[in-house]
Amino acid sequence: MQAVIYRRYGGPEVLELSERPRPVPADDEVLIRVHAAEVTKGDCELRAFRFPVTWFWLPLRLVIGVFRPRRPVLGGYLTGEVVETGEKVDRFSVGDEVYGSCGLRLGAHAEYAVLPQSATLARKPRNMSYAETAGVPLGGLNALHFMRKAEIQAGDAVLVNGAGGSIGAHVVQIARSMGARVTAVDNPRKEQMLRELGVERFIDYTRESFSARPERYDVVFSVVAGASYGECLGVLRPGGRYVLANPRLRDMLRASLTRAPEGKQAIFAFAGETVDELNDLREMIEAGKIVPIVDRVLPLPRIAEAHRLVEAEDRAGAIVVVPGQQ
């Protein structure tokens, strides 16, 4: 099968298209023919082994490979069709159309991927194509998790810092579906997309700081690693929640060890990525509450170009790769 591998950490040039044996599912595993997979910031960060927050460098390096990558095929999220099942599999059947997360197993940037039936996989939404669906699991799973942690109430004012990325664009949609009024902060390249997703106000971070404005919020969500902890807390109303999706070590310590004034809370909690959340996302998609946000679909052999687009943020929406095409 066609697969993209990397044998050393580095720039997009370390990615190679290669022929590899098609994986064989064990008793409790399913073989999925990958129809589409997102290329995420996480793929680029693992490929280069460079992260905007550094505290997990050592534990992650031990898992991913100290001297070279232990798992040569990247890709954390996929959508496709179950083509073979192990003898003990009872959750899936051949022909099921699924979407979900590969977790730390990775392996989505190939024609086939093998996953345990206990993986975060669920039936794909009926009203999205495979390419559109590929843009959902990373952003959708994280956004749903964070918005539930934030306990959004109808009418809440929500500020989304870094709203134009894969996670932020889903946060905008999910917060709106919960009845929030959303202000987005991002690069002006993302403004049109974010307005189409229904944000009430857009703040261009390259020209002004959201903290210099008079507006106050019930919830601040930030995926920007370098965001100022004090500024994010400072724009909250009393009792407001600050949700950190990309927290630095010092921010986690501050959130754990100090009490914010006026009943404000700082929350960081990594997404568990559950099957129930995938099922909830599918229902939201089928009800029209989450729409596709795919910028470009590229054939798998153009994976290096896909990584460059994601790394440079030269996109408004997801960059998706499709195996089996030249």
Ligand X SMILES: NC(=O)c1ccc[n+]([C@@H]2O[C@H](COP(=O)([O-])OP(=O)(O)OC[C@H]3O[C@@H](n4cnc5c(N)ncnc54)[C@H](OP(=O)(O)O)[C@@H]3O)[C@@H](O)[C@H]2O)c1
Rule CB under 6 A: which residues touch ligand X?
A: 41-42, 45, 52, 142, 161-162, 164-168, 185-187, 190, 205, 223-224, 245-246, 270-271, 313
We find the least distance from the C-beta atom of residue 233 to ligand X, in angstroms, to be 16
Query: Which lies closer to ligand X via its Cβ, residue 96 or residue 186?
Result: 186
Coil vs helix vs strand at 307:
helix
Query: Which lies closer to ligand X via its Cβ, residue 96 or residue 132?
Result: 132
Residue nearest to ligand X (CB): 165
We find the least distance from the C-beta atom of residue 60 to ligand X, in angstroms, to be 10
Query: Which lies closer to ligand X via its Cβ, residue 2 or residue 161?
Result: 161
We find the least distance from the C-beta atom of residue 161 to ligand X, in angstroms, to be 5
3-state class percentages of the chain: helix first, strand second, coil last, to nearest 5: 35, 25, 40
Query: Which lies closer to ligand X via its Cβ, residue 57 or residue 270?
Result: 270
For residues 300 and 257, what is the distance between their CA atoms, to the nearest angstrom?
Answer: 46
**Residue 155: which region, alpha, beta or left (left: phi > 0; alpha: psi -120 to 50)?**
left
Q: Residue type for 111, please? A: E
Angle at 314 between CA 309 and CA 317, to 5 degrees: 90
We find the least distance from the C-beta atom of residue 52 to ligand X, in angstroms, to be 5
Burial class (CB in 10 A: 0-12, 13-18, 19+), 4: buried
Query: Which lies closer to ligand X via its Cβ, residue 42 or residue 75?
Result: 42
We find the least distance from the C-beta atom of residue 326 to ligand X, in angstroms, to be 28
We find the least distance from the C-beta atom of residue 3 to ligand X, in angstroms, to be 23
The pairs formed by 229-233 with CB atoms below 8 angstroms and a separation of 24 or more are 229/254, 229/266, 232/161, 233/260, 233/264, 233/266
For residues 246 and 55, what is the distance between their CA atoms, to the nearest angstrom?
Answer: 11
Query: Which lies closer to ligand X via its Cβ, residue 89 or residue 157?
Result: 157
